[in-house]
Chain A
């Protein structure tokens, strides 16, 4: 229940913030890859946003930019929040664009090593 309420609050906040933050459409995936590494996102989420023991999977198909932005700025989960002083709106939008650009992986059934 607590999680659900938090999620709804995040979504509501996302709607508000979407009117004020940089449009994701103007973001640059190449710059986003650099920002993803420069700001240490890869340390928990992996260079491809694949996630692991330390961080959630971010890509492919990341959450919509608005929700993503609200989460990064206000996280109450294991990831600490990243305020603008640490991660700019521009970098955040570019990072999202990078995550959007990551292609879907193969089906595991097509990889012999995962079918032993």
Chain B
């Protein structure tokens, strides 16, 4: 049946007055705090009218009914998704039009992006602050290809992002030429290795089920990205009866996160309570602000030092039990909470062995007991190697660490004998002293090169802190490759104080994730600080325009070291191993690793896209006044960027 005929047929179904559409109430929240509600929600005014109006009234529009994508918007609105960062594409034109016209461009609000990778990374950064996922739309082929690296980062970082890829499945009826180049049998194949779930709905009812299911799966720890492949034809068809059923929207009910086995929890508690020097290592443990509080409880109960590996703010940096990575060397029991890489926590690898082969070394004492709690064990795929090297442990719990902590805390409390309480308290005293010394060492290290030009990363980071310290601040960059000074010297204590790392370390994440996180902070009334790497920004600088367009303020301090310094030493190392002088080609580092000659004028780049900007700043004495000026601009609602020439790390 030709598409035109198919549409006439569908209109005919409506015109006969068959029970057609039903369903959803726009914008109704289904949050977990609300009481249970029926799974079939009442119809909107528009959809209800379909059942009561005469065929003549319904057939006013050219398509002869209500487009299916309007129903899709009703479904999406029940999930309370606030924003939809996306780059426009013809394969999702149906739902695009419904979102902005039928849906009023609210919940979600469409945010114009200039690259699909930026759109997904914005959702990634937004979640790290807001704890809620965003939706993004993309062309199912070329757009999804652009989006893949950002989806991979979200996968590795266990962050939910909901991606809808438009795709015109019907080869006989889709437009020829470019739209057919942009169609595929199975767009999900491109990202199936690093998404939790994907589906290709073939009916509106199927879409309703799949959309709610996708949201539910994405939001069940371990979190992760999901994909819906959305047929262009389905978006544009008018709503019709689905068999003998009326359309309905399933109610979203959050799934309880998985907890560690109760027997394993007790055994872990027994080991921790009996340990002379237990150490807690946390990476993606604190999914929510409450996770930090729970970890503090556990650490104080044991007076155990905590290594925060930093994929989230897991533990207050100012706490006396906060310590560095080397603390594992003296531990007799180590508990790892949602570690991305347990092997590398207790071992090291040096890229400098004989014949240029790396060498492994243990970081821990023989006999050290290892405990792991990780939800990632519930979701391991084969192809991409984000599961890292295999590390044998003594107790392994496949469960969510934050959800398991309350039971573990109670079990530890019960397991600590009175006779050990003095020894545990003494451990705390030693930790206080060590923490104070560690802080003093970090501050003294920051003084090295303090007045140098290019500006030292420690100076840049602390001048920035001085400019925002009286405000409700949030660091919205993964690290900025500034030797971790913000983690060492800023008082990171709250969940929103830092967004953590990207997960997959795909470069190009930093700028768009910062804009997504800044969006969440804008809505919370916070100031966002982005320590922006130069190489990272140039992957998709169009996100600067998105920030200006949608009035998403942030203070971006460019860490402009004019090179890909992560890569410099790889090339240098190869040259040294081979007894060859590395070719610098007239630059300051090996050919292919420098971003100079010409130097990029990031301040002009930002200005051209609607930002306030200043630079290049090379003299550290000029930094403080420029920062004061920039902070005022950001507080007025405009994003601001300072192009700062910096030391490499």
**CA of A66 to CA of B69 in the docked complex: distance in angstroms?**
75
Q: Is the CB of B452 within 8 A of A47?
A: yes
CB neighbors of B among A18-76 (8 A): 37, 40, 42-44, 46-55, 57, 59-60, 75-76
Max count, chain B CB within 10 A of own CB: residue among A52, A80, A115: A52
Q: Is the CB of B568 within 8 A of A53?
A: no
Q: Which residues of A contact B469 (CB under 8 A)?
A: 116
Q: Which residues of A contact B384 (CB under 8 A)?
A: none
Would you call B525 an interface residue if the criterion is a C-beta within 8 Å of the partner chain's C-beta atoms? no
Q: Which residues of B contact A54 (CB under 8 A)?
A: 483, 565, 569, 648-649
Of the candidate stretches B191-199, B253-261, B421-429, B441-449, the one touching chain A is: B441-449
**CA of A70 to CA of B2 in the docked complex: distance in angstroms?**
80
Name the distance in Å between B581's Cβ and chain A's nearest Cβ. Answer: 5
Would you call B288 an interface residue if the criterion is a C-beta within 8 Å of the partner chain's C-beta atoms? no
CB neighbors of A among B340-387 (8 A): 350-352, 361
Q: Is the CB of A43 within 8 A of B572?
A: yes
Q: Which residues of B contact A52 (CB under 8 A)?
A: 457, 483, 647-649
Chain B residues near A (Cβ < 8 Å): 350-352, 361, 440, 443-450, 452, 454, 456-457, 459, 462-463, 465-466, 469, 481, 483-484, 489, 563, 565, 568-569, 572-573, 575-577, 579-582, 584, 588-590, 647-649
Q: Count of chain A residues with Cβ under 8 Å from any Cβ of B?
A: 39
- What is the number of contacts between chain A and chain B, taking CB atoms within 8 Å? 126
Which of B352, B448, B462, B647 is within 8 Å of A80, CB to CB?
A: B352
Evaluate whether A80 and B456 lie within 8 angstroms (CB atoms) in the complex, with A40-B572, A53-B649, A114-B443 already known. Answer: no
Name the distance in Å between B633's Cβ and chain A's nearest Cβ. Answer: 22
Q: Is the CB of B581 within 8 A of A111?
A: no
**CA of A50 to CA of B647 in the docked complex: distance in angstroms?**
10
Q: Is the CB of A80 within 8 A of B577?
A: yes
Name the distance in Å between A104's Cβ and chain B's nearest Cβ. Answer: 9
Q: Is the CB of B568 within 8 A of A50?
A: no
Name the distance in Å between B533's Cβ and chain A's nearest Cβ. Answer: 13
Would you call A113 an interface residue if the criterion is a C-beta within 8 Å of the partner chain's C-beta atoms? yes
Q: Is the CB of A44 within 8 A of B581?
A: no
Q: Is the CB of A46 within 8 A of B577?
A: no
Q: Is the CB of B565 within 8 A of A108?
A: no
Q: Which residues of A contact B582 (CB under 8 A)?
A: 40, 86
Q: Is the CB of B444 within 8 A of A108?
A: yes
Q: A46-B648, A105-B447, A116-B469 are in contact. List 13 more A-B contacts (CB 8 A).
A: A40-B568, A40-B588, A42-B647, A43-B569, A44-B569, A50-B452, A50-B456, A51-B445, A53-B481, A76-B350, A108-B444, A108-B446, A114-B443
Q: Which residues of B contact A43 (CB under 8 A)?
A: 563, 565, 568-569, 572, 588-589, 648
Evaluate whether A77 and B352 lie within 8 angstroms (CB atoms) in the complex, with A44-B648, A54-B649 already known. Answer: yes
**CA of A53 to CA of B488 in the docked complex: distance in angstroms?**
12
Q: Which residues of A contact B443 (CB under 8 A)?
A: 108, 114-115
Q: Which residues of B contact A49 (CB under 8 A)?
A: 448
Q: Is the CB of B445 within 8 A of A57?
A: yes
Identity of the chain A residue whose Cβ is nearest the Cβ of B573 in the assembled complex = A80
CB neighbors of B among A101-115 (8 A): 105-108, 111, 113-115
Identity of the chain A residue whose Cβ is nearest the Cβ of B453 in the assembled complex = A47
Q: Which residues of A contact B465 (CB under 8 A)?
A: 113, 116
Identity of the chain A residue whose Cβ is nearest the Cβ of B490 in the assembled complex = A116
Evaluate whether A85 and B581 lie within 8 angstroms (CB atoms) in the complex, with A50-B449, A106-B447, A108-B444 already known. Answer: yes
Q: Which residues of B contact A50 (CB under 8 A)?
A: 445, 448-449, 452, 456, 647
Q: Which residues of A contact B572 (CB under 8 A)?
A: 40, 43, 80
Q: Which residues of B contact A57 (CB under 8 A)?
A: 445, 448
Q: Is the CB of A78 within 8 A of B350?
A: yes
Q: Which residues of B contact A77 (CB under 8 A)?
A: 350, 352
Name the distance in Å between B295's Cβ and chain A's nearest Cβ. Answer: 25
Q: Which residues of B contact A108 (CB under 8 A)?
A: 440, 443-444, 446-447
Q: Is the CB of B576 within 8 A of A40?
A: no
Q: Which residues of B contact A116 (CB under 8 A)?
A: 465-466, 469
Identity of the chain B residue whose Cβ is nearest the Cβ of A50 in the assembled complex = B448
Q: Which residues of A contact B575 (CB under 8 A)?
A: 86
Which of A51, A76, A113 is within 8 Å of B448, CB to CB?
A: A51
Q: Is the CB of B462 within 8 A of A114?
A: yes
- What are 9 inter-chain pairs, A to B, with CB distance below 8 A? A40-B568, A40-B582, A40-B589, A78-B350, A80-B573, A105-B448, A105-B450, A107-B447, A113-B466
Name the distance in Å between B483's Cβ and chain A's nearest Cβ. Answer: 4
Name the distance in Å between B231's Cβ and chain A's nearest Cβ. Answer: 48
**CA of A106 to CA of B449 in the docked complex: distance in angstroms?**
10
Identity of the chain B residue whose Cβ is nearest the Cβ of A109 in the assembled complex = B443
Q: Which residues of B contact A75 (CB under 8 A)?
A: 352
Name the distance in Å between A113's Cβ and chain B's nearest Cβ. Answer: 5
